[in-house]
Chain A
């Protein structure tokens, strides 16, 4: 009897776990916490199919199903969104969300309206919308990095200041009256200036052009008399929140923030305050969001804590600051009330789980603009025949956390790969994955800035149980050795920020190769990790920040690397690991694809490079002894840091489909007010 009762309980419990709601919740966990999209898809599908009369749940499940497919880059996403719109017209929120995802306009029950106003290959998110919300200044890379303005209503672009690839525009903001634009301009000597130009393209003026300082433009005061910048000093690598007069370019030092780079969110509507954020350090949680009086009389912390709080902007009425935060576990938009520069109450969630968004602020009518940076970088592996250079189509290495995996390195025995996972450079996880079984182990790291580690990938030490990864602390490059068994870390090398974070270990793990720039001189260095002794292998004048695509031949005898030479050329060279004179293998320019990333094949006969081929990036093979380059059948929007497996039969790389989108939300707070 007892046995029957127990059996019944088990059956009932199992049945309970299979309710549509349970399936939906399980699917959410699979999708958002575990990143197992394939399993999530199955569960969402089952939830939708079994939802029966619960049409709200069915619609939600289909919406999520579409999201999963979208993350996988599948066109099936569109079919699911269409199905929601067609079959669940009574579910207005879900329909609005589905429309928004397709790119139409979604009006939700709450009155919130979402609209994608720009997307595509040349969408750029460096500028901030005009006060009337009609225009966006941006960097037009299709015309060499020109400063351009996009009419968001007419979907038309207009170039104001032409770039040429070597000189180009950066961040840009409108004046309060909408007649001028303040913007950053980069010259071909690595300098950065602050400029003004009329929206008709006339009356360009250089406001600041101080060699050794980079004035990053952020906001224009409501009275038009001050422009807020972060002035980065190349000399001591420190940052300053400064106020620049648009009349004469004079600077008022408001507050130094040391090595931490502030993100200035803008002036309060009355012009009395600036809001900005600075990141926490590993040791302290003294970063956060601050409001500082523009006369320097007072500063007040608005939000502080262990979460990553950044990108603050004021609402047009000046009563609220909205900011990005991961305090709920996922990156979302939060708000806090402000009265006379003082925060009131606690932060409140405005919109949750927004992904990698850029907080771009409000237009005068209260419309909220944000950008989506869909980098969608992933680790890929393609088969490689080093004799014929034939390849198999690249496959995504993992379906977990699609779009958030980058930087890959093979273990010395080729049985494991290590890469970085995560979208935020301050909270990335190191993943160790078995090539054979796909089993993954994750190591949370203590990296303060995992950008370089994610971009260039970890180096394996020959013991096969420790990795070398790059970090940045207080504007110094720090290279850590991480034990993948214990997670223990120790710094093996640190130096100035001018060290290019792409470093490579010799196959025996005893030497570290790196490059460092000193003004226009680039030095290629070899460091003995046991003795700390260093030797310069090669030095040349180059406008680049480092030697790109650094790669050590499998036998450890040669290096391959690239350097910018006179614009627009970049050369691929090889050099003995003992130094000497490098051999130029390939020279790229605007006609021939510019190489930017490289790896040796196992037989050391070729160096594989990633270089543009039309609108895509292709893997090419450059013979190490000279000769014509050969195309490999591997293309993608971007291909970074290829790495050939120790057996020479596979090439792994970071690939991606970078895509920016600009969205606008009307009636942003309606949703939050409705308690959703």
Chain B
């Protein structure tokens, strides 16, 4: 009888969905053909942390997206098997359930499309589909896939499970969120001044908007153009459009104090450098986003802005 009561409670809890951290939308987009289930999430989490998903068994997804470092790795650019140097800084992957496209150039439209690419990328985990399937068809994985999907394993199911888990990596509950929810003491006076700059003179909220502080759009901020031509074509690799050369997706600013170094190439080791860069108006180039202009922030203003950015650190949660 007690068990039945507990079961009812568990079912009701699951139906209502887990409570998300403060500041996030109640609605978490999930594809109809890959609904979140505890079994899929658990499987995805296991895959995410499994080093056997790299060619030499040295790396897992979590090696670069390390939960202890806000799901980043602290390196300038990613490092794959055999210490192969990647091209871009590892992006933070919190709140990606609300993402509109994936990777810094947006080349994947869904998390399911994204999930396998780093595993199969020769510069990252360097696996082959056959090797992935051989792994997941062995041992406990087979039963876990059956439990999660009722069949398989297949590569699509690997992608679905990983995508399910990533959708549960959420960040919120920061002082900024508490402040927006009405707790006016949640931000220091310095941070409040920084927020005013963020949304006003500094123009950060021209792109960093909404609960995840990103417009999910692509912008040429000039970082890729510091040598006179784009060192990384960015979004143009996907679209082929000249105006997208050196443009990258606006990243979330959540947990930003924990995700150094910054920019798509990890070229700024500190937040102060980032603020200085934008204060100077960005590197001029033919496609520089017209919103970038010299900001003329005072030293105190820059400190205020940094204090505000620090207030975006809250709680990261995964697996629910």
Contacts and interface: CB of A to CB of B under 8 A. Distances in A.
Given A235-B199, A295-B16, A295-B17, A252 B206 contact: no
B205 A297 contact: no
Given A210-B182, A297-B17, A518-B200, A235 B25 contact: no
A471 to B, nearest CB: 14
Contacts of B291: 494
A253 B209 contact: no
Nearest to B201: A518
A236 B25 contact: no
Interface string A290-307: 001101111100000000
Of B200, B208, B209, B211, chain A has the most CB atoms within 10 Å of the CB of B209
Interface stretch (B3-11, B26-34, B76-84, B271-279): B26-34
Contacts of A298: 30
Nearest to A498: B200
Interface stretch (A59-67, A255-263, A452-460, A507-515): A255-263
Contact of A236 (B15, B23, B29, B205): B205
A602 interface: no
B210 A296 contact: no
A259 B206 CA distance: 10
Nearest to B205: A236
B66 interface: no
Nearest to B293: A532
A425 interface: no
A254 interface: yes
Interface string A246-282: 0000011111101100000000000000000000000
A50 interface: no
A22 to B, nearest CB: 50
B100 to A, nearest CB: 9
Contacts of A238: 209-210
A476 interface: yes
Contacts of B98: 256
A351 interface: no
A587 interface: no
A236 B176 CA distance: 14
Contacts of B23: 253
Interface of A is mostly: strand
Interface residues of A, number: 27
A237 interface: yes
Contact of A254 (B25, B199, B206, B215): B25
B27 A494 contact: no
A409 to B, nearest CB: 25
Given A236-B209, A237-B209, A292 B200 contact: no
A149 to B, nearest CB: 31
Nearest to B208: A236
Contacts of B200: 518
B17 A253 contact: no
B24 interface: yes
A256 B28 contact: no
Interface string A472-484: 0010100000000
A296 B97 CA distance: 13
Contacts of A251: 181
Contact of A255 (B26, B30, B181, B209): B26
B227 interface: no
B27 A292 contact: yes
A256 B213 CA distance: 11
Interface in A216-247: 235-238, 240
A625 to B, nearest CB: 39
Nearest to A292: B27
Contacts of A496: 203, 206
B199 A236 contact: yes
A253 B205 contact: no
Contacts of B24: 253
Interface string B114-136: 00000000000000000000000
B209 A295 contact: no
B290 interface: yes
Given A256-B211, A292-B27, A299-B29, 5 more contacts: A235-B195, A236-B210, A254-B25, A296-B25, A297-B16
Interface of A: 210, 235-238, 240, 251-256, 258-259, 292-293, 295-299, 474, 476, 491, 494, 496, 518
9 contacts: A238-B209, A253-B26, A255-B25, A256-B25, A256-B210, A258-B210, A259-B215, A297-B16, A474-B215
- Give the 4 A-B CB pairs with smallest separation, nearest first: A296-B26, A236-B205, A296-B27, A236-B209
